[in-house]
Structure 1
């Protein structure tokens, strides 16, 4: 049995994910409306309209209400002297260890929605991969970025 990681992402991240899901659902609704118009003008089967509408409703409910809550409850991370461990996933939980010696650079990103909620996303880059920790408080993300940078330099000097 694995040990539970200490740090969770900010609860406001749940709201940010829901806003993103609402935007995606709105775009999907516009496409669905376009198909509705096509089925009317081209005399397609009417069941297509109802199937698409039902599919849109189910995906909107899952995307806005259910999936963000599951994602948020699964997201964990921990920064140690020798490695960074990240746990994520919706249905399949993935745990990743990033050795501190492999860290090349650390970025924080803050788009308009994240900025409104004073959150940042942190990207940790190695030579081959990029790992993201979403929805951290902006101050916490800056401190964590500096801490990882310092630990990565120390790990590099030890080699």
Structure 2
């Protein structure tokens, strides 16, 4: 786990990159846009990554940490800390990044007769359905493993 700001930045970049890649492909599939893959799609993924990283580092990450550590659980148990942080992060990131998804969808197709609020709620629901298990079961363990095996030893050796 990250122990300082530099490690936190590297860990955040790794986690955001993985989550944005998978979530972008997922959203392209469910919106039937996977067949229209183009340079614009790559550009949208890069913009999505930059927005997600800024949200992670400046808003959602600090807020999730604050909320997670205020919860009544045994903070000496690493698994509880990971579950609390991951849950708070996924909820915050899904709520925020779904706004990005809504704006992208409205610019591409309009609302198709839906209200803005109902369209947003559907995007949140669809994103949460994948993001939460993806974070808990795949991306979280994968990024933590790669970080602890390859990144942290190099950062520790450099000090």
Q: Same fold (TM over 0.5)?
A: no
Query: Rg larger in 1 or in 2?
Result: 1
Structure with the higher helix share, 1 or 2: 2
Q: Output the TM-score relative to the length of structure 1.
A: 0.35
The structure whose residues are more often strand, as a share, is 1
Relative contact order, higher structure (CA 8 A, sep 6+): 2
